[in-house]
Structure formats: structure tokens, C-alpha cells
């Protein structure tokens, strides 16, 4: 399968690893802007152990100013992010540099559930995007997608059920990759 990563994401955010060229960590199977800290960037993803949602850890994402690089906005294709705090299912490639999105998928789920709380700043809005894709031999077809967005503060964790919308052109196709993007801004 082309373009799918091998390391399973830790959806509970319990297990973390050091990002390339640094001492800062990301959750296993996830990638963030934290790798840019060694180039003068600001850490945007943190291991939250003081008040996690469940277990021993959660992930905390904050919005930081992005400089010196162009980051495509997955929520608004064709635009770039100038401020960001995001986490994606994937890995960081050292050579060539960049992100490799996705993780293997073998089912057609109807819903993605997640727990979150949110403290926006003026003009901020958070989002979660999900794409289920299938490699067709040349490129990736989007089999299903889901979007959640908010700019409303929530001081306690609550569960959100994000409904996935399936493309009618692929009524029985089982995706081979899931791509999840989480952003604080």
C-alpha cells in the first residue's frame, strides 16, 4: 500500500517519543510542529499529565506563530497557516524533510469519537478533520470524510461524535488509510 505509515498511533496519548533532532516529544504515531523547535520554532504540542481526560496522559495543543515555512491548511485547501497548533496521524520524515500522513485502516466506521476541552483566544477556532482514503494505483481516493469545528470555550472534557460522510462513488470500498488532523487554531 503506497503512502501509509507503519507505526500505530496511540489514540489514548499514553506513549510518547522524542521528535527528530530534539528532546521534545510527540505522541506515538502522531506528528506536530514540535520538530521545528530545533530550528527556532515554538513548541505547540505537550504531554498533559496534570489533568488528563483519561489514563495517565492527554495531549495539549496550543497555537503558535509559524515563521520560516509554509504549512498547507487542511481545513481550507489552497491557503497556508500563519499560526498553528496541530497534530496529525503520521510521522516526520528526516530525508526528504516533511510529514507522512496516515495510518492503515481496514474498516468503514460511521463515527469518530473523541474527548476534548478548548480555551480559544480572540479569533481562534479549533477543528478535527478525518479522511479515509484508498490508493487506486495512481493516487488516493477519498472514501469518507468528517469535519468538526468550534470556537466555543469548554473548560471540561466532553465527548464529540464526528459522523463520517461516505462518497457515494465508493459504496463498498474499504479504505486503506485514515488521516486525522487536530488543530487548536
| Greatest mean pLDDT range, 32-36, 54-58, 72-76 | 54-58
What confidence score (pLDDT) does residue 75 get? Answer: 66
- pLDDT, residue 140, reads 93
Cα separation, 42 vs 155, in Å, equals: 24
- Give percent of the chain above pLDDT 70: 91
pLDDT of residue 92: 77
Per residue in 97-134, pLDDT tens? 667 778 888 999 999 999 999 998 887 889 999 999 99
Alpha carbon distance 166, 125 (integer Å): 25
Q: Is the pLDDT of residue 70 over 90?
A: no
Q: What is the pLDDT of residues 148-159, one digit of tens each?
A: 999 999 999 999
pLDDT for position 6:
43
pLDDT value at position 4?
41
Residue percentage of the chain with pLDDT more than 90: 54
The answer, yes or no, to whether residue 7 has pLDDT greater than 60, is: no
Q: What is the reported pTM? A: 0.86
pLDDT of residue 27: 94
Amino acid at each position: 500500500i503506497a503512502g501509509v505509515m507503519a507505526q500505530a498511533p496511540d489514540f489514548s496519548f499514553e506513549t510518547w517519543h522524542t521528535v527528530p533532532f530534539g528532546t521534545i516529544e510527540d505522541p506515538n504515531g502522531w506528528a506536530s510542529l514540535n520538530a521545528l523547535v530545533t530550528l527556532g520554532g515554538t513548541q505547540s504540542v505537550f504531554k498533559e499529565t496534570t489533568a488528563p481526560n483519561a489514563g495517565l496522559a492527554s495531549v495539549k495543543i496550543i497555537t503558535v506563530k509559524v515563521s520560516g515555512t509554509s504549512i498547507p491548511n487542511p481545513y481550507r485547501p489552497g491557503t497556508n497557516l500563519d499560526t498553528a497548533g496541530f497534530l496529525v496521524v503520521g510521522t516526520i520524515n528526516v530525508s526528504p524533510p516533511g510529514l507522512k500522513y496516515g495510518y492503515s485502516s481496514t474498516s468503514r466506521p460511521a463515527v469518530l469519537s473523541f474527548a476534548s476541552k478548548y480555551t480559544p483566544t480572540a479569533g481562534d477556532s479549533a477543528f478535527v478533520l478525518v479522511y479515509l482514503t484508498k490508493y487506486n494505483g495512481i493516487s488516493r481516493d477519498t472514501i469518507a470524510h468528517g469535519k468538526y469545528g468550534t470556537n466555543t470555550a469548554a473548560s471540561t472534557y466532553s465527548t464529540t461524535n464526528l459522523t463520517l460522510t461516505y462518497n457515494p462513488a465508493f459504496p463498498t470500498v474499504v479504505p486503506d488509510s485514515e488521516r486525522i488532523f487536530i488543530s487548536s487554531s
